[in-house]
A and B are shown apart, each in its own frame.
With several copies, the nearest count.
Chain A
Amino acid sequence: MKIFADTPKNKFEFETYIEKDDILIIKDDKSIRYDMTPLGNGRYSLIKENKSYIVHLVKNDETYHVHVLGDYFPVKVEDERIRKVKELVKSSQSGTTEKIIKAPIPGLVVKINVEAGKTVSEGESLIVLEAMKMENIIKAPYDCKINEINVKEKDAVQQNQDLIKLISVD
C-alpha cells in the first residue's frame, strides 16, 4: 500500500508491505533498513540506513509535529485508501466560499478594526490580539466581506477559537 507524507513544501511517498510481523518500507525497489525505538515522552531513536536520528513525534488531529536535526515539520500522513475517500468527499461537496478565521494563538482581543457586513482588502488589519506582551495583527487573507464577528474587544480567546467569518469577494 502507498503512504503519502506531506510537509508544507514537499511531498513524499512510501510503498509498504506487511511480511509476517514486519512492515517493509520500499523505495526505488529496495527495502529501507530501519530501526525505530521509542524512548518515551514522544522521543524515538531512528536508525535508517545506518544514519542515526533523534525524532520527536507528537500527533495532533491529523498532523504529526515532527522535530528532527534541530528542525521542525508538520507532516500529514495518509494512505492510498484514505486519500481516495477524501478526494471523493471533496469533489462531491458544493463549493462554499466562507472562510473562518481562527485565533492562531491564545490571547486577548485588544482591538477589532472591522464591522460585520463591511468589505475589506487583502492585508487590511482585522483584529489585534495580544499575548506575551506583543501585539499580533490578524489581516485579511484576500479581498473579502466580513460575514460575522464572533468576538468582542477585551475577550480572552483560546487557540483556534473562531474570530471572524469571511466571504471572498470575486
Chain B
Amino acid sequence: MFKKILIANRGEIAVRIMRTCQEMDITTAAVFSEVDRKSPFVYYADEAYPLGGITSQESYLKWEKIIGIAKEYGAEAIHPGYGFLSENADFAEAVFAEGLTFIGPPADAIRVMGNKTEARKLMIANGIPTVPGTEDAIKDKDKARQTARKIGYPILIKAAAGGGGKGMRLVEDDGQFFEAIEGAAREAKAAFNDSTVYIEKFVEEPRHIEFQILADSKGNVIHLGERECSIQRRHQKVIEESPSSLLTNELRAKMGKAAVQAAKVCGYRSAGTIEFLVDKNLNFYFLEMNTRLQVEHPVTEMVSGLDLVKEQILIAAGKSMTSLKSLDDFWGHAIECRLYAENPDNNFAPSPGEILFLKSADGPGIREDSGVTQGSEISLYYDPMISKLIAWGSDRRQAIMRMLRALREYEILGIHTTIPFLIRVLEHPLFQKGKFTTKFIEENREQLFVENINTAEVASFAAALDQINEKSKISIYNNHKNNKHGSSWKLIHRQQSLRKK
C-alpha cells in the first residue's frame, strides 16, 4: 500500500480524501495556493507544500510543479479529487511517466470519455443509447447553427472538456445562438483551459440519473446503483439522492448493465460515473461519463456502506475492490445538499467573505463533508461550494425530514448560503412526492422564493428590538414577566452593558 499520497486539490474534497488516507494509515501531502494558506485542508494534511499563485491557473492547475513536489518529498501517488486536474489525461500520463501512481482511471479512458464527442461515438458504436447532437467539436459557428436548427430547439451547448455545468448554455431559439456559444466557450476556456464546445438536443421532461461504477485491475466491473441528480440550477446539481424515486428494479438493472458496459468498452479502472438522461417515457440516454470521483459520491457511500475513496486507493494500488457484487439492495435512503456561498435572494450572487460563526448540524443520520470553518475566508477565486450535508434515513421520507431539520439547525454567519433555498426545495410537495424533472427549480420558481409571513414577523420583531435597544440605551433584553432568575438576570444585564461599550 502507498505510504504517502499527495492530494492535488483544495476545499472539502481535499479534506474528504485525507480522511480516508488517515483511516488507512497513509501520510497525506497538501498543496496550496497563496489564498488557501489558512484553509482547513492545509492544516488537516500531515504535510503541506505551497504552490504560490492565486488563481487556479497559477496554482492547482500547475501540474509540472505538483508532480515535482510529489517526487521530491516521496509521495508515491497523486489523488486529483474532482475538477482541476482530475480529468486531464496529459496529467495522468505525466504522473505515470514519472513513476508515480495516478489515483484514477488510465489516461486513455480519460481521454476518450473526456472528449464528449468521442465518448458519444464510442457509445453509439457499442449500442448504448445517446442524445442526438453534433458528433464532433464545433469549429464553424454558422455550420453549428445549421445543425442546431436541424436537431430542433431547445438545444444545449456544452464544453467538450467539462462538467459541473461550467461552459454550458441552454439555447431556446435561433436568435440567442451566437451569444450563447461565445459565452460557453469563454467559460470553458476559463474553467478547463479548453474552449471546445458541442451541441446536444435538449431532452424534454428529463431526469438526470447517474450510475456509480467501480472497476479494478482484476477485471471486476460493478455498479453501485444510481443517484438521482435532477434538482439542478443553471445545470449545476443542487440536491442528489439515492435511490431514485423514478426507477423500477427492472429499469435499474437495465441502466446498470449499460453503465457497466460503458465502463468496460473504454477500458475503465477506478471509480467513475455514467450520467444518463431519462425522458418522460423512461427512455434513457447516455449523457457523459465522469472519469473521477463525483461531488455527490457520499450518497452512494451511505446506502452501500463503502468508502469510495478507499476503493479508489485500493484499485490504484493494484488490489481488488472490497465488494465484488453489484448493489442490488440499498441500505435505506440518502440525500445530499450542496451548500454554496451564494445569496438565493439576490439571484444566487456569489457571497465571498469571512465566516464569523459556524455551528454545523449533527445528530442521527447526518454527515457533513465540509471544507471550511469559522474564520475561513471564502474567496472569489474558486468554486463557491463550501460544504455538503448528507442525510441518511431508513426511507426517503425520513431522509428528507432529517435533511430539513439539519438545514434548519445549521448556523453560519458572515456569508450568505443557499440553505434557505434548499429548505424550500425540500419542503415542496412535488419534491416530497418525487415528481420532478431537471426543470423543477425553473418551473417552481415562484413557490421557491415565497416569503413565510410568520417567520418574517419573528425576524422583524428581533430586528426592531435590537434597534430600540440601541436607541434607548437601556437594556431591554429579558422582560419575561414570570421571571425570577436572580443570577441569570444579572448576567444578561452585565453582558448587555458590555455590548454597548
Contacts and interface: CB of A to CB of B under 8 A. Distances in A.
- Chains A and B share a contact (CB less than 8 Å): yes
Contacts of B456: 7, 9-10, 12, 73
Contacts of B480: 33-35, 47
B463 A57 contact: yes
Contacts of A55: 458-459, 462
Task: Please tell me the size bucket of the interface on B.
Answer: 35 or more
Contacts of B492: 37-38
Given A64-B467, A69-B408, A105-B349, A75 B460 contact: yes
Interface string A49-69: 011111111110000101111
Given A47-B48, A48-B461, A3 B352 contact: no
Interface stretch (B215-223, B272-280, B309-317, B468-476): B468-476
Contact of A70 (B341, B410, B471): B410
Most buried by B among A33, A47, A69: A47
B330 interface: no
A52 B47 contact: yes
B478 to A, nearest CB: 5
Contact of A23 (B187, B452, B457, B469): B469
A133 B382 contact: yes
A38 B496 contact: yes
Nearest to B460: A5
Contacts of A69: 408, 455, 458
Nearest to A137: B183
A128 B169 CA distance: 15
Contacts of A53: 43, 458, 462
Contacts of A45: 37-38, 42-43
A110 B189 CA distance: 13
Interface stretch (A14-22, A84-92, A143-151, A162-170): A14-22
Interface of B: 30, 37-38, 42-49, 56, 73, 166, 179, 183, 186-187, 190-191, 234, 341, 345-347, 349-352, 356-357, 374-375, 380-384, 407-411, 413-414, 416, 419-420, 423, 451-453, 455-469, 471-472, 474-481, 483, 492, 495-496, 499
25 contacts: A8-B345, A12-B457, A32-B461, A35-B480, A37-B38, A37-B477, A38-B499, A41-B375, A43-B375, A47-B42, A51-B458, A52-B30, A54-B43, A55-B459, A56-B411, A68-B455, A70-B409, A71-B420, A75-B463, A105-B352, A110-B186, A128-B183, A131-B352, A132-B381, A133-B382
